[in-house]
A and B are shown apart, each in its own frame.
Chain A
Amino acid sequence: MNQRHISYGIEPEALAVYQALVQEHGSPLLVISRHKLVGQYRALTRQLPGVSLYYAIKALPNPEVIRILAEQGCHFDVASAGEIELLQPQLISGRKTIHTHPIKKDRDIRAALRGGSTTFVVDNIDELKKLRAYRHRVGVLLRVSFRSASAAVDLSRKFGCSPDQVEDIVLQSRELGVHIRGLSFHVGSQSLDPQAHVDAIRLCGGLINQINQGSVNPMNLLDIGGGFPVDYACENPDMDAYFTAIRAALYELPEDIDLIAEPGRFLVAPAVTGISTITGKARRGDYQWYYLDDGIYGSYSGQLFDHVQYPLQITSNDLAREPSILSGPTCDSIDIIAEDILLPEMREGDLVVGHMMGAYTAATATRFNSLDCAKIILQD
């Protein structure tokens, strides 16, 4: 988990904007910046030229985000029938999707096919057998797992076959008459070290080369997953160096391999700002408690599920600070956003701003205590 970054004081112009938004829409809010979202998409297309981007809808399943990314030419990574349904009102063709959940019911497969989503991911023979009835309609990717010691979220424990199983599964798939089009992997999320990605790309490239030797039906696709890090700790990491290493590894692959990636967090995290309001305060022991109208059961759910500490910004830059606790609105004692932090005295009605709150925030928010989730609005 990253170190919490707190900034004190808000530029008057920015504060006026936040206040006007709360005035108009109420609090709490999650504000999507179209400008930043498009900026992230374009940055990633620049960093990964030749890689088709499939936005992982689960990070923020929001219609506006989907619309804006679709306008930019982005494709979509879906993992459920519900996610496919989010694309349909916007008339986004199923041809622009890939279904990435490795474990599916027959009903899920049929719903995906009906939505026009024909590329599926599997990681074992039993799942491959489920696709046998649809083998002339579908394209199949085999998910390979690579354990990453440095990633904040290890995605290789739950899904993926080991690299040494790949050849055997491919052989069995041929017997079943189901063609495996390529490999996919997820090395985990939020690691600033590109080595896991680089190793996985090289290993998959080697596996594809090996399997394609003498194969009449070669693999032609590598899905490098997502997990590209964003800067929750406000440390300005060298993203150019990170992506340069990944590009170099991709460059070593045979030219005829199509590349896709499934960014979620990278696209949406920096594009969303959370605005909440102090609804009450109390002095308890050595601590000053502040109660906000958003918390762990709401937009800050990612602190629990996603192991992220969002950068916070408060209105006052007063240097007189005391140990404080920022609490969420529910009755549960775990609903604490930040404790043991130094804060200047704040007043009821003051705003607390959370930055980088696009990914796995609203997506995992609950309505515990029958509290409404933060309203999501689009700006600029």
Chain B
Amino acid sequence: MTETEIRQAIADSLRGIAPEADLAAIPPTSNMREALDIDSFDFLNLLIGLHTRLGVEIPEADYGKLTTLAEMIEYLKAK
């Protein structure tokens, strides 16, 4: 899948979690949870949203590889 598709899926997943979030304004190497001010519950919801939209399995052991926006995009591109 392309980076554009992944960005769209992230933006769509965030709509119900942090509606005011502007993906373009999130520094790619910043901690996503801190930048978006979301808790572990909403982070799990974000990952569930990505799983649903992109059909990607994200094992719990991989959560640490999805800390920043750049990491998240790279991880999903490789899937």
A and B: partners?
no
**Taking beta carbons and an 8 Å cutoff, which residues of B are in contact with A?**
none
**Taking beta carbons and an 8 Å cutoff, which residues of A are in contact with B?**
none
